[in-house]
Amino acid sequence: MFTQLDNEISGFKPDIILVERNLPVESTKEDAALKSGDAGFCRFIGLENNIPVKSWDPSWNRPYHCLINEYPEEAVFTMVLSFLNFAYTPADYLRYEDFYIQQIASLETAGWNFRPEARQAAYFYRKYKTYFGSSFNGTPEGFLEQYNRQRLVPLYQQIVHSLQVQRDISFIKSLREALREHDRVFIQAGSTHLSSLKNILPLVLEKAAEYTKGDKPFAARLVQADSSSCLLAMPAGAKEKYVKIVAAAYGIRSDKNGISRYIRKQITGFKPDLILTQGLAPVYATPAITARKSGDAGLIRYLGTMGHIRVNSWEAGWDDVYYKLSEKYSPDDIYLSLLGWAILRESESFSAHQTFEDFFEHIYTPFVTYGYPFRADQLNTDTFLRSLKKYGKGIALYPTFASPVADPENPGGATMFMEPDGSYRLKGKPGKYRYTMQLCPPGSGPCNTTSMEITLADPDPSALVEITGKIESDAAPVSFAYLKKVLQSSIRQDILADMHAIRTALLLKVLGEYRQEYDRIFVQADAGYLQEIVRKSREHQQ
């Protein structure tokens, strides 16, 4: 099958490739076929041949709100997760719980508003038994059997059908948009979609042919994978439209200035029927925990979810941003600048993560969800940190060292803890302390044993932990604070300026589309976007 796909793409010579889902690009053709299936394989071929690759799948936000308007929310949750269990068999996971956590994080980043209790697999197990009448089997061997049983449940059939209709709508919309800009479009899609759309696709292609100018050839190739619409109602009658925009405030985690109270007051007073945030940060058990871990975007999403207000992100489209930037800049410079920008923007949340790897995953997940064409190795901290070597010094962080072993002769009562910037501090009674520890680089790599001696003295018996030795020959361990300094001097400001211009245009486009459906829209965005929107609005009024 994959040889056929390769031949189809090379023979067709497409201008753009549309695929199911958003997946990172594996490092080899074989890994792409094995780990990511036909969608990932098409992504790999496209990237290798400098062909833009985008996903035709919709954000989960619209299908989610369509479904909960028609079915109970917990039924939608159970049926969609059950469907995805079969669609994405967790063969690479040792435990189903690990796969479940990844699925929840992926859906949430893409626009699904989960209640906090749904984060635990035990919640899904209870709901599964309620709706299907049997206990859930979390082994890969049990998935086919469960899928065959699920298909016999009418509610499952109805919800999955509605979900697939939403995906069909997105398929057609993405194809129309692609055909307005490109002459040769290659699409990878499942047989269900090609079967349900077989009578519509010829009409779409015929209509698109009318836009073809000059003597350019018009073509579209549909490749089948082996593996009643619910549109939100338009507001009745002619009404005024209102948009309230609140600037993002990433310092909300400390909330020294009462930002969370300000945001709550703004939402309560405005009474929006739609909230658009800059990203879709996770929602936790309480507003305070959500604000500390997910910032203002997370708090706003929490308030909207609990208030039954639709919440979505206006940030979708990192594939568009990447391909527009790639017309002027190299892929490596785009990668470093965008990831570096995101790290600096979210730096206050670093202390909420146990390791730099966890923090880095938190940073890149929204990019993956919205289509950024990462190579698989670019999601490894080693790759990102080594990309900084071109700026003079290799970087390695020391939140990854193993627990230190104290010398038996040490004074008692000392503790070692991590500071918000990622450095470590020892605090205890005055005296000399000796420790032995395994110092490991971020990601994979050999660990070195290092010994250290720290002296604590009055009047403040505490000290930063200065780790001696080296992780690799050209990378000394540094703090997260040092990494921030390196990034601030390494990121290309011209790339960020162009990125912000592209994203501002996207925000204005999204606002224009949603104002056709909603009367009161609450928007959270960086102050720079707010200023640009105000300027554009004044130009429009004049």
Q: Is 535 found in the same domain as 515?
A: yes
DSSP letter at 444 equals S
Per-residue confidence (pLDDT) for residue 73, from 0 to 100: 87
Q: Is 324 found in the same domain as 443?
A: no
Radius of gyration of the chain (CA): 25
Q: How confident is the model at residue 494 (pLDDT cuts 50, 70, 90)?
A: very high
Q: What is the pLDDT of residues 46-78, one digit of tens each?
A: 888 889 988 888 777 778 888 888 888 889 999
Q: Is residue 279 part of a domain?
A: yes
Q: Cβ-count burial of 482 within 10 angstroms (0-12 exposed, 13-18 middle, 19+ buried)?
A: middle
Q: Is 491 found in the same domain as 374?
A: yes
**Among all chains, which residue has been given the structure tokens 């790759």?**
383
Q: Is residue 397 part of a domain?
A: no
Q: Is 97 found in the same domain as 36?
A: no
Q: Is 355 found in the same domain as 427?
A: no
**Given a cut of 50, is residue 254 above it in pLDDT?**
no
Q: Is residue 202 part of a domain?
A: yes
Q: How confident is the model at residue 542 (pLDDT cuts 50, 70, 90)?
A: very low
Q: Is residue 299 part of a domain?
A: yes
Q: Is residue 234 part of a domain?
A: no
Q: Is 450 found in the same domain as 417?
A: yes
Highest mean pLDDT among 106-120, 145-159, 485-499, 515-529: 485-499
Q: Is residue 173 part of a domain?
A: no
Domain total of the chain: 5
User: What b/e string do you get for 331-343 counting C-beta neighbours within 10 Å, with b at 16 or more?
Assistant: eebbbbbbbbbbb
Provide the CB-side half-sphere exposure for 116 (13 A, CA). Answer: 12
**Given a cut of 70, is residue 300 above it in pLDDT?**
yes
| DSSP states of 232-266 | PPPPSS----EEEEEE--GGGGT-TT-HHHHHHHH
Q: Is 384 found in the same domain as 246?
A: no
Higher pLDDT, 73 or 479: 73
Q: Are 196 and 168 in contact (CB under 8 A)?
A: yes
Q: Is 285 found in the same domain as 259?
A: yes
What is the mean pLDDT of the segment spanning 31-41?
77
Per-residue confidence (pLDDT) for residue 209, from 0 to 100: 56
Contact partners, residue 447, CB within 8 Å, separation at least 6: 402, 438, 439, 440, 441
Q: How many residues does the chain have?
A: 542
- CA-based nearest residue to 132, from 117, 113, 146: 146
Average model confidence (pLDDT) for the chain? 74
**Given a cut of 80, is residue 45 above it in pLDDT?**
yes
Higher pLDDT, 109 or 272: 272
Report the CATH number at residue 516. Answer: 3.40.1010
Per-residue confidence (pLDDT) for residue 181, from 0 to 100: 82
**CA gap 464, 456 in Å, rounded:** 10
Highest mean pLDDT among 7-21, 324-338, 457-471: 324-338
**CA gap 16, 185 in Å, rounded:** 5
Q: What is the pLDDT of residues 314-358, one digit of tens each?
A: 876 788 899 999 999 999 899 999 999 999 888 877 777 767 788
**Given a cut of 60, is residue 435 above it in pLDDT?**
yes
Q: Are 208 and 185 in contact (CB under 8 A)?
A: no
Higher pLDDT, 50 or 412: 50
Q: Is residue 276 part of a domain?
A: yes
The proportion of the chain whose per-residue pLDDT surpasses 90, expressed as a percent, equals 4
Higher pLDDT, 201 or 308: 308
Q: Where are the beta strands (DSSP E) in 298-378?
A: 310-313
Q: Is residue 162 part of a domain?
A: no
**Given a cut of 50, is residue 233 above it in pLDDT?**
no
Q: Is 377 found in the same domain as 327?
A: yes
Per-residue confidence (pLDDT) for residue 245, from 0 to 100: 53
What is the mean pLDDT of the segment spanning 273-297?
80
Q: Is 146 found in the same domain as 66?
A: yes
Structural domain boundaries, residue 283:
242-315+499-541
Q: Is 417 found in the same domain as 292?
A: no
Contact partners, residue 328, CB within 8 Å, separation at least 6: 498
Q: Is 475 found in the same domain as 414?
A: yes
Q: What is the pLDDT of residues 418-429, one digit of tens each?
A: 555 445 677 778
Lowest mean pLDDT across 188-202, 234-248, 434-448, 512-526: 234-248
Lowest mean pLDDT across 304-308, 352-356, 507-511, 538-542: 538-542
